[in-house]
Amino acid sequence: MLTKRIIPCLDVKEGRVVKGVQFVELKDAGDPVELAAFYDEEGADELVFLDISASHEGRETMVEVVEQVAGKLAIPFTVGGGINTVEDMKRLLRAGADKVSLNTAALLNPNLVKVGADYFGSQCIVVAIDAKFDAELGSWRVYTHGGRRETDWEVVAWAKEAVRLGAGEILLTSMDSDGEKKGFNLALTKAVSAAVTVPVIASGGAGEAAHFLDAFEEGKADAALAASIFHYKETSVREVKSFLKEKGVLVR
C-alpha cells in the first residue's frame, strides 16, 4: 500500500501567499520562500505552488519566485498557473519544479496534456480540476480561470479524459468546500478516485486532522492538500501526520 501524502499549498498572487474562502476574499498569508522552507522542515511530503492570478491575468508564472522556492526544498514541488505551452513547462521544470499543474490550459487545449506527457513523462503532468456542484447537472461541473468560468464538462468525465490524455495525477479542488474548514468534499473525491487509475489529491475544506483521515478512508484519496490551516498555524503537518499514524494510516 502506498503511503498517503500531506501537501501544503501556496496560492500566490503578485509574489505573496494568499488565502480566501470559495476562491474570493483573499487575505495575505506570508512570503512563499519562507513558507516553503518552513514546510520542508515540518515534514511535508510535497509542496504545491499555484500562481492563482496567472491564467486570469494571462501571464506567465513567476519563474524567479519558483527558483527561490525550489532552492529551499528537498521535497517534490508542483507549480501551476499560466502554463500554456511546452516551453512554459520547460522553463518551470528548469527553474526547479518537479511537476507542472495544468488547469485552464488543459481544458482550452487538451492536446497540451498529451504533448507534455509524451515529452516529460506522465509523472510530471498534474491536471488540476476546480469543481462545483451543479444541481441541474446532478453532479459537479468543471470551472476554469481560477473558478470564474463554468465549462460544459462534468468532473468525472473530464478527470477520465485527462488521464487518457496522459495526466499522471489529478489535483481535485471542491470550490464549494474551499476555505470553509468543514472537511473535504468526500462524495466528489470518492467519485473521481473510483473513476481514474492515477493518484487523486483531495483539496478544499480541510479544517482539522480528522478531515485528512476522512479524505483517505472515505474519499479514497491518495494525498490531501491544505492551505489556510497550515499557513495560520491552526494545526501543523507534524500534528496531522502524528494523528494519522495513531489511526493506522501509512504516512511518511
Residues belonging to the active site: 11, 130
Q: Are 115 and 86 in contact (CB under 8 A)?
A: yes
Q: How many Å apart are CA 185 and CA 202, to the nearest integer?
A: 8
